[in-house]
């Protein structure tokens, strides 16, 4: 089974050419940091509440991405809430965690890695899907959650909360689907604790960045 981090990265790739959606770099970093915390929560390694993030089990998961993050958390003597950990992981580890997740997807035959040269100087790595099945399956699963009244799988609910917090649902799903699902998305945000905590933390961080940018003198 793919991790939440791997699946959310798949959803952030363009269906046609494998390039990343045009998102602000900080948004991508927060998505990776938040999804990694979600993965650790579903592995019963951490839990969160509004005041702090708590380690439940220090035993490694066997996944390089998750264990690197777990080591970072267990090696810290400072108590942080979810937002604090997302900010720290985004700043220090998100780029490496993203590369590890993409490398894992390549290793497992889900993606290919292509380097493309632009203006003979700059290079951009793209990750086209080999057959698109994993990406399509993730989208179909989340679409079913959005359009259904059934109790969702907790992982799927968490992914929707994360995508909603980072404002990328509009890049993943059709506008018509989202308009029909507004009430359902609000419901999912209330149902999923880890998704709500991570999502709220990212919303607050993003709001702070926007406020800082608008107040910066030009």
What are the beta bridge partners of residue 112? none
* pTM for the full predicted model: 0.84
Q: How far is CA 22 from the centre of its chain?
A: 15
pLDDT of residue 17: 72
Q: What is the CATH number of domain 4-215?
A: 1.10.3630.10
Candidates 24, 30, 11, 27; CA nearest to 173 is 11
* Residue ranges in the chain modelled with pLDDT below 50: 118-122
- How far is the C-alpha of 19 from the C-alpha of 40, rounded, in Å? 27
Q: How far is CA 139 from the centre of its chain?
A: 14
Alpha-helix runs per DSSP H in the chain:
4-11, 25-42, 64-74, 82-92, 94-107, 133-147, 154-165, 169-172, 175-180, 182-191, 193-215
Candidates 24, 82, 22; CA nearest to 213 is 24
């Amino acid at each position: 089974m793919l991790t939440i981090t791997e699946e959310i990265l798949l959803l952030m790739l363009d269906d046609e050419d494998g390039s990343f959606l045009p998102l602000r770099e900080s948004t991508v970093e927060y998505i990776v940091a938040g999804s990694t915390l979600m993965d650790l929560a579903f592995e019963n390694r951490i839990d969160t509440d509004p005041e702090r993030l708590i380690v439940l089990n220090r035993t490694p998961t066997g996944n390089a991405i998750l264990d690197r993050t777990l080591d970072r958390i267990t090696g810290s003597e400072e108590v942080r809430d979810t937002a604090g950990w997302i900010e720290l992981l985004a700043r220090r580890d998100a780029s490496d965690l993203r590369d590890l997740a993409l490398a894992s997807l390549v290793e497992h035959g889900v993606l290919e890695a292509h380097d493309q040269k632009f203006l003979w100087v700059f290079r951009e790595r793209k990750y086209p899907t080999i057959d698109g099945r994993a990406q399509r399956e993730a989208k179909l699963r989340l679409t079913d959650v959005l359009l259904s009244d059934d109790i969702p799988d907790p992982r799927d609910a968490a992914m929707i909360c994360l995508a909603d917090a980072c404002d990328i649902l509009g890049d993943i799903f059709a506008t018509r689907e989202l308009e029909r699902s507004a009430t359902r998305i609000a419901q999912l945000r209330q149902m999923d604790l880890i998704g709500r905590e991570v999502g709220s933390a990212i919303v607050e961080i993003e709001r702070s960045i926007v406020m800082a940018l608008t107040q910066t003198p030009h």
